[in-house]
């Protein structure tokens, strides 16, 4: 659980830096979200999302994303780039032509995905995966044919 605390501290520090640079995080007091109070929204395919800071539908946000074991997304894009940290599990994020070279990332690993770049996200079979992402723009997802 110490890695989760470290990740949350790093994201909070980043959010504070964003607010001092004109971002959408006008912090005036300490804000916390205990793990048991994370507001998960279950999605039909087994994934779940929980925005813990900002508004993912409008702009800058920090959001947790949870995948069940073995979930592999279809090829898709997002309009805005984002950075993420693997909080739990083992996962990989890669462009379709790079699957064989894609590293499996474990808890504490960092990754980033450029906007409008087709990619796949995958959780290993052994356990569920949780990612914490920071994105400067609204979150969207478009499938690639």
Instruction: Report pLDDT digits (tens) over 23-46.
Output: 556 779 998 999 999 999 999 889
| SS3 state of residue 130 | strand
Q: What is the pLDDT of residues 104-142, one digit of tens each?
A: 999 999 999 999 999 999 999 999 999 999 999 999 999
In this predicted structure, what is the pLDDT of residue 95? 97
Q: Where are the domains of the chain?
A: 2-143
Burial of 121 (0-12, 13-18, 19+ CB in 10 A): buried
User: What is the fold, at CATH topology level, of the domain defined by 2-143?
Assistant: Jelly Rolls (2.60.120)
**pTM: predicted TM-score of the whole model, two decimal places:** 0.82
């Amino acid at each position: 659980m110490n890695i989760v605390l470290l990740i949350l501290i790093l994201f909070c520090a980043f959010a504070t830096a964003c607010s001092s640079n004109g971002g959408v995080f006008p912090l005036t007091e300490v804000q916390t979200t205990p793990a048991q109070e994370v507001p998960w929204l279950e999605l039909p395919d087994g994934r779940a999302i929980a925005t813990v800071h900002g508004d993912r539908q409008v702009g800058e946000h920090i959001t947790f994303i949870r995948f069940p074991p073995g979930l592999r997304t279809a090829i898709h894009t997002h309009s805005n780039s984002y950075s993420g940290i693997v909080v739990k599990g083992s996962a990989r994020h890669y462009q379709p032509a790079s699957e064989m070279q894609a590293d499996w990332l474990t808890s504490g690993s960092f990754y980033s995905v450029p906007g409008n770049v087709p990619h796949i996200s995958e959780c290993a079979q052994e356990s569920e995966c949780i990612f914490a992402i920071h994105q400067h723009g609204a979150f969207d997802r478009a499938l690639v044919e």
